[in-house]
Structure 1
Amino acid sequence: MSVEDMIRDMDSLHLETVFKHAAIASLTCKGRTLGPDREPFWVEGQKKREDEGTTNAEETVAEKIIVSPSIREKEPSLSCFPDAEEINASIFKREMAEQCRQSVRKQIQELKERQQSLQIQRDARQKEDELQTERLAQKALREQNENLINQQAEQLAQVQLEAQQRQQLDLRKITDQKLHKLALEGVSRCQRRFGNKYEGIIKLLLSLDKETVQVCAAQNQQLKELGEKFDQLVCAVKMGNCEQSQYLSSIIRAEQYCKSLDDLEGEMIKELAEFSELIQQQIKREAAQRLEEEKQRKLEEEKKRFEEQTQRQKEKDESEAQQRQQLAEEAAKAEAAKVEATTAEAAKAETVQATPPPEPSTVNVSPAEGNISGAYVHPSRLAFYNEIISLYQAKVDAVKPLQSEESLKQYRTGCQRAINLPLNAITAVSPQHLSNNFEKLYNFFAGQPVRVMNDATITINDHPLARDYCMLLMAKKFVSQSETAISGNPQAAFPFASVIMTFWKLLPDFGKVFLAYLYKESPYMVPYVIPQQPGQTAEQYLKSMGYRLSDKNELEKPDMFLKRQTGIARLYAAVIITPGRKADGPAHCFGLEEGWRWLAHVVHVKPLPDISATLIMEILQTLGYELWRTYGKQFLKLLLYIHISYMPQLAIYDEGGPKTRLEMLLGKFLRERQIPQAVGLLPPGFW
């Protein structure tokens, strides 16, 4: 039986007992029997003890309750009802029973709750066990599936690995074939280069005599070893039994062999050059010795000839003296014979006729001043140089009154300011900026007033000599920019050159004055190697060649001289290829033919250390692109002539850095068959 059933039975039992008691009491009670104001309804003496057991009271009540149904139909009597004590005992018992039942129900409820909690715990444990079992089953199933998947994956990976290995093997074979082909092509190219260079060296060695070949004995042995190594490399590559890295390394080794052969050729050429230089020095010494012997022989011959001539002259003089003496004696005899027969006048005339005529005096004629040798300057260039310098000197002489007049000092300062400010601001920042500075200069030359210091204004028409003075001043200022701005920044030459060419178009004399200042600073740009005059000191000669003397009368240092000459060459070349302002016409007053003319003449004048190589290199770097594009093969022939014929002549006088840099530059141009365009060149129609 469950707890709910037990509680339900107890409730029904209690209700039945209450109904029984109520039925018995209702037979005797006529009014209210309960309440605080009512006395207990029982008889003294019939009161029972309160401590009477609950069991007896219940039994008594039970006994009294069991009444025959027939009694209910009779009149009730007092003797048949229980007394009040029994009723109270019954009530107390009932209350106690109720308390017991409540306690039992409470305990039963607690028991029920504990049973429920235990049931919940058992259910939870059961569910947890089921879940654990399910998890273990799933884990086992998952492990089984994973093992199966792993097995399948391993099988699939094995298949893919085998396929990949086969693919890699095929790819490796294809790569090996490509690398082999690439190596063959690379080594073949190197083999052609190596073979051509090798044959050239062999031909060079065969063309030499035994004594000269002995100089290159070590290089000859290296040449043989290098040839054998290259042949072995070619055989190994052709066989194709190499790893992938070896194919690439074979090309690198072939390039290294070619480079080694180039280096070997350079060493042989250097050795041969040194040997040739020794031979040349020996030949020069022998030639100098022969020349000295020849001079000595000629001197002795001249001395002997002079002695013979002196002897002949002496004999001639003696003979003439004897003839004069004989003539005098004969005249004296004739005069003595005729003195008496003739008059005094006849005697006098006879005496005059007999007097021998005076001997003609010897005249020392100085030899004519010879022409300057073509080794210093070409005649056409010398004529052009003299023309330019003559015009310049004429203008300089003409403006001397303006330069020497003390009262015009402020005017001269204003002219200098009107020219220097816009000229120093010339740059290629923008076309407008360049045009504005040019307009300031040109407006001043056009006669417009220019504001100077103290709010004063001047014009170029304020003095009749001001135009030539300002032209000389501006030309000198442009040339001085080669020393300040252009020598450190080659690109700065082009905006200055553009303004110079524009002024040259508008003022033709300005261009000649500009060239005169440029030639005075660097006669090499004619090209003119001014010879040293007899009695001229070294300092005076260097000053005539463009060197400067400081205020302390110290000569300019060579590096500063080269830097200044480099700036002049850059400005000169920029003027040749830079057009002027488009609005003033397309004509070019000093075109590209001047650059060609300079290069063609400079290789025929006497080379000078450092300066010759420096100027040629600057001209080629600035004008080379335009010259090659314009003259094509003819310019290439000129480059070859400079490389083959002129450089050995230059090497006699120059072994410094500029000569080496020029050799490298020429080799680069001839090897690449092109010259890059000068950086900073203004585009056509820039302003």
Structure 2
Amino acid sequence: MEEGLTFKNSADETVLGNLINNIPIVNLPTLIRAAKVSPLIKDGRTIGPNDVTSSLTSSDNEKEKILAKEIKQKKTINNEPQSKSRINLSSKSDLLDINIISNSIAAKVTERTRKENIKKELEQRLNVITIENKKRQELIEKSEKVRSDWIQNKIESDKEIYKIAEEYIENEIRQDNKKLEKILNEKQRRLQKIALEAIVQRRKKFTSHYEKVCQSLKLEKNLVDCEEYNKNLKDLATDFEKLIQKIKSNNMGQPEILAAESLCSRIENLEAKLYNDISKRKQPTGTPDGVLLQKNCHNLESSQYSSHSPIQSTQRESSINTSDVPDSSEAPFLLISLETWNVYSGIITYFNDKVKALAPLENDPNMKKFLAACRRKINIPVAAICAVSPQHMQDKFDKLMSFILGSTKKQTATDVHVSEHPLAADYCIRYLAKKFIDVAGTEISSNSQAAFPFASIIIAIWNRIPDFGKMFIGQMYTESVFLVPFLFSRSNFLNDVHYKLAYGYYVTENASALEDFSAYNKRQAGIVRLFAAIMVSHGKRGDMIHPFPIENGWKWLSNLINIKPEMHDVIATIIVEFLQIAAFEMLSLYGKQFKKLLVLIQEKYLPKLNEIEDGKAASKGKLEQTLDLILKFNRIEKPQGVVPKDFW
């Protein structure tokens, strides 16, 4: 019988192969040994004292050890199932094949175990990561909730704080408005009181002169034309009564004071004229009063002064002599010439009527934003006016003209247009005139050269909008009566406050005092600089007419020195500033005639300025130096900064 295992068919062989592959490697030695001893065991025990295996030779034991050792050392793994049809366990080669199969089985088991262990470890790690992520997510959600709650609480808290702050600010604004209203009311009350006192004083003065004129007419009715004087008296009384009615309607301020003062001046002039006529009738050879150097009226309809200059009339030259300035004792009431008064009355009446017509627009609370926007449209180009280039001047002029005339369309929904209100164009013209005077009192008063670009723009606008010229002159006369010239006598006022208010001193913001002399003097100097600069400047290229030529400088200066001086230091400042800008042009135009006028100022008018020592002699000294430079050293410098003709 052949040793080994034989298979009846291939199916048995396959079953056995699968069976062997599924045997754990740890049981193979036992099976091998069992296979060896199986043929020898017929009956009996295999373990214990009577086991039949004890008859195995030592050589077999050695073989077993060698086989076991080879099994341990075998490393080749065969994953393919055995396809042999026969497995022989009796030989050494068969045992080696079994070892290979066993190693393959062991490797697979080990790999499977390793994979299972790795899978378990990965699952454990994944579980740990999942748990950690879940905890982290819960922590984030909790943190976000806490943060969201904090933000919400913060917003609510801030809302409360803002609400409290807004209430506090509104309360402060209300309190400030009440204080401001109280201050304004107090200021208005004081001004009303001052104005009332001034009006009362002027009424007494007017009544006194009125009674004197009436008494003189009764006594000297055979010497004068009483009908004419009675008519003038009636007109003056009617005008004063209208003024009183206007004051009773709580419309009382500086314009009313000026109107009352002008009425007093008119009746004083009427009284002086009456005394003069009476004197002539009684003394036919008597000497007439002083002669004015200029006697030509201003043409209000054309908004342009027209006067015959000395260079145009040889007869005018003979009228300039030292006897032309009336002595203060001869003409105590001559603070404005009748001709100048007529011009001034026409301009100031037109100006006041325009201002009064604008009151409904200015007092309308619904139009405050609109008016503020209009002012802003004017302020921006005016603030940028300078002669840096022709294009720059043209740009500022175009912006002002296009806005005032309404020739441009609205660029944005918030933009403004003068067509939005019937009075908007008049308001803008009035505001532009006032803005130029304000600039004169600030910027030009600190820099005389700045006057010329503004003067050039003013001339160009004046030529195209005549109403602007009237409003500009009216505004200038309101700010500086010296430029009329129109002076008030100190003796007609109760105190210095009333006297200074009549001359246009500003009241401080708290209505507690008037501006100091240096500020007032500087502001007046700036206004007269602009006044003179307009006369010597040119408008746009192609402008053929000058609306305010240098002839007005001659007229103004000759009228000024023919009335009794008041506010001596201010007048000295004004004459100096005027000469520094206009003297070069006037000398070129009038030549020797202008020098005669300066000699008249030096010899007759300057001593009158020095009669009163008011502690402010700086301007008087500067006037003396200016006259000396011109007359003794023949030095008149051309002013710096004049915009050349056809510059833009």
Greater length-normalized contact order (CA 8 Å, ≥ 6 residues apart): 2
Larger Rg: 1
Normalised by the length of structure 1, the TM-score is 0.45
Bigger helix fraction:
1
